[in-house]
Amino acid sequence: MSTTTTYRDALREAHREALQRDPRVFLMGEDVGRYGGTYAVSKGLLAEFGEARIRDAPLSELGFVGAAIGAALGGMRPIVEIMTVNFSLLALDAIVNTAALYRHMSGGQFHVPVVIRMASGAGRQLAAQHSHSLEPWYAHVPGLRVLAPATLDDARGMLWPALQQEDPTVIFEHAQLYNLEGTLSDPAAVVDLQRAAVRRAGRDVTLVAYGGSLPRTLDAAVQLAADGIDAEVIDLRVLRPLDMDTVLASVRKTRRIVAVDEAWRSGSLAGEVLARVCESAFYELDAPPARVCSAEVPMPYAKHLEEAALPLAPKISAAARALLARRP
């Protein structure tokens, strides 16, 4: 059986299940309780589980992320919601210098099993300060596990296994996905936090994406199919550690790759994926690898400029067509 729902509701169900299954789990963040969460993910959970488990925090990301790290060190399993990814910069010291390094610095004596969730991405005319895609920054850091659920099943299925990790996990939820509607598997899908997922099989070109870029990439694959181009779409979904085996298996079949990333081109995760492809499968490529990223500007407010800056489906399909036009 399956149930029709939204990405937002899938996340809420994941929280509910985790809170029911483990008394050590609690949720902390700005407006997660009485207001029900900035994106309504935690709506109704305060009434169901009480203030001890759904904790409204002061407007201090460094403060409440630090408190969650302390709780994790003390044996709890905290979930922290940070309103948007740009606000996580205020807690970067706690995440990168403490949570990510504690097990290493303590010689394995201490673990920080905290899950930090945050909204990411552009496309809603929120301009430069609330449209960041900083996933590559976090994916750069050893000691963190970095996830980007782009489907309803992953939104529901990633939280519980993340809470079982002994090291900190950062989960990026693209803000444009919250209203995504679809079918949720019943029983809940089991999500492997080590593996990417093939979302569409194909033979002509590999399209690699994650998070909010996945729906656009799937749309591009449909556009390409109308021209007789069979694109395979890989959803990275686990940004650290990267599952290059799945990507390389696809590239060895299609011999062409386009990496899609809403982050800026310089230092993008797309660039890292393509570098690893060149290191491991350079002679199996029939065309130079390509990437489609956001323009290297602070995200504009005006809708037409925002769309011009983002890696939307027409740009992705154009990049794929350009690769197919090249002769091996």
Give which of 274, 272, 311, 279 is closest to 289, Cα–Cα: 274
13 counts as catalytic? no
* 3-state secondary structure (DSSP) of residue 99: helix
Residue in 20, 236, 9 with CA at minimum distance from that of residue 135: 236
Q: Which of 13, 81, 130, 135 is catalytic?
A: 130
In contact, 235 and 196? CB cutoff 8 Å: yes
- CA-atom Rg of the chain in angstroms: 20
Cβ–Cβ under 8 Å, residues 45 and 79: no
Specify whether the backbone of 63 is left (phi greater than 0), alpha (psi in -120 to 50) or beta: alpha
Q: How far is CA 255 from CA 81, 222, 274, in A?
A: 40, 20, 13
- Would you call 4 helix, strand, or coil by DSSP? strand
3-state secondary structure of 21: helix
**Helix (H/G/I), strand (E/B), else coil: 20:** helix
What angle, rounded to 10 degrees, do the helices at 244-254 and 269-281 form? Answer: 60
Q: CA–CA separation, 117 vs 122, rounded Å? A: 17
**H/E stretch holding 259:** strand 257-264
Catalytic residue among 13, 15, 30, 61: 61
104 labelled catalytic:
no
C-beta separation of 171 from 162 below 8 A: yes
Q: Catalytic residue positions?
A: 61, 130
